[in-house]
Amino acid sequence: MQIKPTINRLGEQAILVQWDFNITTENLNWLLKVKEKLQLKLLKSKVQIINTYNSLLINYNNGIENIYTDFETLESYDFKVIDSEEFKGELYKLPVCYDVEFGLDLEELAQRNSLTTAEIIDLHTLPIYTLYFMGFLPGFLYLGGMDERLKISRKNEPRKSVLKGAVGIAENQTGIYPTSSPAGWQIIGNCPVELFNAENEHPCPFKAGDQIQFYSVSKQEYDTIKQQIEDEIFELKPESHA
Amino acid sequence: MPKVEVKKAGFYTTVQDLGRLNAAQYGVPRSGVMDSFSAKKANLLLNNPADAAVLEITMTGPTLLFQSKTQIAVCGAIFDMYLDECLISNAKAFQVEAGSVLRFSGLKQGFRAYLAIQQGFKTEVVLESRSQYQGITSASRLVNGEKLEIEALENSVIASARVNFEDQELFSNTIKTFRGLEFELLPQKLQKKLFTEKFKLTPAGNRMAIPFKELLPNDLKGILTGPVIPGTVQLTPKGNLIALMQDCQVTGGYPRVLQISERGLCKLAQKKPGETVTFQLSQFD
């Protein structure tokens, strides 16, 4: 199903391999399999590879001795041989408090999209989102799979600052601000779970290909979880696979 | 551990090494020295590993008190520098005695200098790097009065390495670039303009990005969010040309019209706001 990628050098120390395909979980899973194959077998150098929706960036920061031969390997490689069997990411459930205290733009979203707050919460907690990659801020998750009925343009005037954990919507994307930050997204709630901590062995609990589902919690439950996180007794565990 | 006391931090001084090469997967900027050529040269003069942590000194230099004997070398931007009130030169290793004070005075050429110290500064390591970055390391820059740990000098033999060439080319205005990923989407007239116009650095430039003053009106559409790296030059819908630098984000949504070469990035890092550069097109063999 996958056609030949476009392969370009990005400066002296990187190669970008890009496919012209749609943003789907299947294509992401295939991309992550290609990434693994390149890292483990195909390329001669020890490289760092990151993926976005439809591309793999291969970084040669440890030395560019093999970049020319690797480039040729990529150009002649038949990517069709990599099959698209299930790549199984983990499923995580994340609490979100949609209380008006946090949901600064719930009312605007309700009005503009002719929805009630309860409907917004339902539409936001129902889908299982796919984590495509992280970017923008450390620990900021690019999630796919939001319900089109929640689609809304960014704020005309970005806010100077939103709280750490603010859950927002911009166009057809939803995301969580991992730290307090200036923000142009419409804010509908807050997630108390820490998404990034540079001190941890795994700075972010998730990886590309994982799945995320939100569940609604009251302000009281939110405070309890926040306290558990502070006391270091909150554990975020993946759901067991069905 | 012996220490170096920061009597005055200077305008914008940070601890940097070659950056976080393995953290882009978490959305963490690479960081690291802006002019890697000069930083590596300073480390080389002291027989340090290339990734030893140095001070990146921007526009005005710090005043440092060395609490123990060590060796230092400063490369990159050329300042008047005084070690215990003795004028010392750029790009040369110097022995420093306990109690010595290094003071920076006027900036004569360039914008960023790199101070290497024997074995490198031993500040905190976060995600495999000592490079300071807000939200990742506990501090984002040096502050007056802080103390930086260094290695005790094991022997008093002065580093013999000499890098004895003039590097005036570092301060030239021509920046070597390659075609960016969306270069071909530009109309030919704009493609030509990129390599014929002079572009002036605006005062908004920093370690994250350097925007240029001249506008290149265009009707390119945004791209699907994709990877960017230091040296990627983006063109916004309003026509602003922005060169991404070491602290840039790992992905972006503006068309990537140019990619600056490694050496070109070092040269751009040595330009002050208000100075101009021209981009020169280069191709891969």
Q: Is A63 on the interface with B (CB under 8 A)?
A: no
Question: Can you give the CATH number for the domain in which A43 is found?
Answer: 3.30.1360.40
Identify which of B158, B155, B247, B174 has the alpha carbon closest to the alpha carbon of residue B206.
B247
Whether residue A236 lies inside any domain: the answer is no
Whether residue A182 lies inside any domain: the answer is yes
Nearest CB to B26; choose among A23, A57, A134: A134
Q: What is the pLDDT confidence band of residue A34, given thresholds at 50, 70 and 90? A: very high
A183 residue type, one letter: A
What pLDDT, in 10s, does the model give residues A118-153? 999 999 999 999 999 999 999 999 999 999 999 999
pLDDT confidence of residue A46? 86
Nearest CB to A8; choose among B18, B23, B181: B181
A224-241 average pLDDT score = 90
* Phi (first) and psi of residue A140, to 5 degrees: -80, 125
* Phi (first) and psi of residue A158, to 5 degrees: -60, 145
- Which A positions 103-122 lie with beta carbon below 8 A of chain B? none
Question: In this model, does residue A242 exceed pLDDT 80?
Answer: no
Partners of A176 in the beta sheet?
Answer: A167
Identify which of B3, B9, B13, B10 has the alpha carbon closest to the alpha carbon of residue B99.
B3
A131 residue type, one letter: L
CB neighbours of residue B3 within 10 Å: 15
Q: CA-CA distance, B212 to B277, in Å (whole number)?
A: 10
Residues A59 and A102 grouped into a single domain: no
Identify which of B280, B281, B35 has the alpha carbon closest to the alpha carbon of residue B173.
B280
Residues A137 and A195 grouped into a single domain: yes
Determine what percent of chain A is predicted with pLDDT higher than 70: 97
pLDDT confidence of residue A2? 59
Which residues lie closer than 8 Å to B276 by C-beta, 6 or more apart?
Answer: B173, B198, B199, B200, B201
Q: CA-CA distance, B153 to A7, in Å (whole number)?
A: 49
Calculate helix-pair angle for B262-269, B36-45, nearest 10 degrees: 90
Residues A10 and A73 grouped into a single domain: yes
> Which positions in chain A touch B29 (Cβ < 8 Å)?
138
Which residues lie closer than 8 Å to A48 by C-beta, 6 or more apart?
Answer: A58, A59, A61, B21, B22, B24, B25
Identify which of A139, A144, A145 has the alpha carbon closest to the alpha carbon of residue A207.
A139
Residues A54 and A142 grouped into a single domain: no
User: Angle at the Cα of B37 (from B32 to B38), degrees rounded to 5?
Assistant: 90
Whether residue A176 lies inside any domain: the answer is yes
Question: In this model, does residue A238 exceed pLDDT 80?
Answer: yes
Residues A99 and A217 grouped into a single domain: yes
What does the block give as tokens for B79?
A: 């300042």
State which of A51, A81, A111 marks the end of a domain: A81
pLDDT confidence of residue B159? 58
- The DSSP H or E segment spanning A124 is helix A117-125
Whether residue A142 lies inside any domain: the answer is yes
Residues A60 and A174 grouped into a single domain: no
What does the block give as tokens for B104?
A: 């920076």
A79-106 average pLDDT score = 90
Whether residue A161 lies inside any domain: the answer is yes
Residues A46 and A71 grouped into a single domain: yes
Q: How many structural domains is chain A composed of?
A: 2
State which of A81, A112, A144 marks the end of a domain: A81
pLDDT confidence of residue B257? 97
What does the block give as tokens for B126?
A: 């976060």
pLDDT confidence of residue B36? 97
**Domains delineated in chain B:** 3-169 (no CATH), 172-281 (2.40.100.10)
Say which residue the tokens 């506990």 belong to: B138
Q: How far is CA A140 from CA A130, A171, A197, A203, B137, in A?
A: 13, 16, 12, 12, 18
Helix, coil or strand: residue A129? strand
Distance (Å) from the alpha carbon of A116 to chain B's nearest alpha carbon: 31
Distance (Å) from the alpha carbon of B80 to chain A's nearest alpha carbon: 34
Residues A99 and A211 grouped into a single domain: yes
Whether residue A241 lies inside any domain: the answer is no
Q: Is A42 on the interface with B (CB under 8 A)?
A: no
Whether residue A203 lies inside any domain: the answer is yes
Q: Give every residue of chain B whose pLDDT is below 70, as ranges.
A: 154-166, 285
Q: CA-CA distance, B260 to B249, in Å (whole number)?
A: 16
Identify which of B9, B11, B247, B259 has the alpha carbon closest to the alpha carbon of residue B129.
B247
pLDDT confidence of residue B165? 58
Whether residue A37 lies inside any domain: the answer is yes
Distance (Å) from the alpha carbon of A117 to chain B's nearest alpha carbon: 30
Question: In this model, does residue A93 exceed pLDDT 80?
Answer: yes
Q: CA-CA distance, B64 to B93, in Å (whole number)?
A: 16
Contact (CB<8Å) A52/B136: no
Nearest CB to A135; choose among B21, B127, B225: B225
Chain B residues within 8 Å of chain A (Cβ atoms): 18, 21-29, 126-127, 135-136, 178, 181, 224-227, 229, 231-232, 249-251, 259-262, 284
Residues A162 and A59 grouped into a single domain: no
Residues A70 and A104 grouped into a single domain: no
User: What's the DSSP call for residue A240?
Assistant: P
Mean of all residue pLDDT scores within chain A: 93
A86-103 average pLDDT score = 92
Beta carbon pairs, A and B, within 8 Å:
100
pLDDT confidence of residue B143? 97
Q: Is A215 on the interface with B (CB under 8 A)?
A: no
Q: For residue A172, what are the domain limits?
A: 91-230
List strands edge to edge, sheet with A186-190. Answer: A141-144, A129-134, A211-217, A91-97, A186-190, A166-170, A173-176
Identify which of B217, B190, B167, B193 has the alpha carbon closest to the alpha carbon of residue B279.
B193
Distance (Å) from the alpha carbon of B251 to chain A's nearest alpha carbon: 6
Contact (CB<8Å) A50/B227: yes
Identify which of B118, B146, B144, B136 has the alpha carbon closest to the alpha carbon of residue B54.
B118
Helix, coil or strand: residue A173? strand
Contact (CB<8Å) B21/A140: no
Nearest CB to B262; choose among A13, A54, A179: A13
Question: Can you give the CATH number for the domain in which A210 is found?
Answer: 2.40.100.10
Asked whether the CA dihedral A126, A127, A131, A135 is positive or negative, the reply is: negative
Three-state secondary structure along chain B?
CCEEEEEECCCEEEEECCCCCCCHHHCCCCCCCCCHHHHHHHHHHCCCCCCCCEEEEECCCCEEEECCCEEEEEEEEEEEEEECCEEECCCCCEEECCCCEEEEEEEEEEEEEEEEECCCCCCCCECCECCCCECCECCCCCCCCCEEECCCCCCCCCCCCCCCCCCHHHHCCEEEEEECCCHHHCCHHHHHHHHHCCEEECCCCCCCEEEEEEECCCCCCCCCCEECCCCEEEECCCCEEEEECCCCCCEECCCEEEEECHHHHHHHHCCCCCCEEEEEECCCC
Residues A114 and A222 grouped into a single domain: yes
Residues A174 and A207 grouped into a single domain: yes
Q: How far is CA B45 from CA A158, A160, B80, B117, in A?
A: 48, 45, 19, 10
User: What's the DSSP call for residue A171?
Assistant: B
Quick one: closest CA in B to A204, which residue? B26
Distance (Å) from the alpha carbon of B89 to chain A's nearest alpha carbon: 32
A174-202 average pLDDT score = 94
Identify which of B224, B169, B219 has the alpha carbon closest to the alpha carbon of residue A18.
B224
State which of A45, A60, A81 marks the end of a domain: A81
Distance (Å) from the alpha carbon of A137 to chain B's nearest alpha carbon: 6
Backbone region of residue A205 per phi and psi (left: phi > 0; alpha: psi in -120 to 50; beta: other values): alpha
Q: What is the pLDDT confidence band of residue A160, given thresholds at 50, 70 and 90? A: very high
Q: What is the pLDDT confidence band of residue A83, given thresholds at 50, 70 and 90? A: confident
Q: CA-CA distance, B218 to B221, in Å (whole number)?
A: 9
